Structure 1
Amino acid sequence: MSLFNRRKPEEIIREWDKSLNREQRKIDREIAQTKRQVQKIELECKKLAKKNQLDAAKILAKQVIQGRKAVNRLHATKANINSVQLNMKQQMAMAKVSGAFEKSTQVMKAMQRLVKTPEVMKTMQELQREMLKSGVIEEMMNDAMDDVLGDEDLEQETDEEVSKVLDELISGELNKIPTASLPAQASVDETREESEEDDAQELQERLAGLRS
């Protein structure tokens, strides 16, 4: 196909870059919101642990672990987007000389992860199709994408992880708590507790979205 019958490579790259920048901003907002929710759950978890309400505290500790893993995953997504953007700049420089894009293994690997990340899936699938047409990447095999999520499993938290989070949140005081359960203390502010429960529920829904 003649270069005169299609858009210039640098125009395509600039359009892709704008799309990737939008996804970066969306990820930043997702990270900030998830961190805020995790912080609120950490505070409630700490209170429950100090009251020796350990069963309830462990449930919240698991949500803390899941939230932290979700944040780490979002940071990894940003890193993959950055990798694509950097490679696209190199592609633009080469395309100005050769008049065409070249296949990129780095972009292929980054896109393998991005097209399976819920927060950016739709945009990345569209971008993937455009990159296929432009010759930047080849068709990806499904069995080549099995390691996208790696060993990180948002649904399983070990007892060791839960104990470590509880110990961290109450500054090492977990071991000082007596074995016998203390009487449950009534909430001073029911409205505040309902708000914290809502935050925990919202985080659970967001984490469920990550697994879908």
Structure 2
Amino acid sequence: MFKKKTPEQQMKEQDRELKRTNRGLDRDRAKLERDEKKIEMEIKKAAKQGNKQACAVLAKQLVNLRKQKTRMYAASSQITSIGVQAKTMNANMKMANAMGSTTKTMTAMNKQMDPQKMAQTMKQFEMENSKMEMSEEMMNDALDEAFNESGDEEEQDSIINQVLDEIGIDMAGKLANAAGPSRHDPTANQITDDELERQLKALSVPSH
């Protein structure tokens, strides 16, 4: 099955063909230049011999040859120009293809990155984040309130008294039996460390 050539392959083949044509023109022009010199020599020879008719014929040939050589220069220049234009067109095609691919990529990205949708998403995120922060603050306030109720101190005192009762220390009795507390003595209503240690030793079971 015939396989279609890519633009790059077509460009390479065209470039090779143009170069081959130019080389052929160069060979033909070189041959014309050799013929030109030959005719010039024959004209000089005929002039020395005084043969005006031969000189006229040879001069006409020389003029035609020079015209042909000029046309070959023009053709070679035109072929070179065509080659340059072809390369320029190929470069432009590559740039156009690259721009087309870039445009497709940007179009796909723009479809995925819908500005309105993204703005809506960000707005919704901010709303939900604010709700979460408010909920967290409310939960913290509720927990603080739950752990700092007015009965906490009474409950703590009750637990302390229960522990002291378990180890045989009657805090209330000690305070009631305290003799004449000094108004200026801040430690008058307090159990000293020595007395607390003595009561703890009294609770110890003697060893046998």
TM-score band w.r.t. shorter chain = 0.3 to 0.5
TM-score by length of 2: 0.44
Higher relative contact order by CA 8 Å / sep ≥ 6: 1 or 2? 1
If the length of structure 1 is used for normalisation, what is the TM-score?
A: 0.43
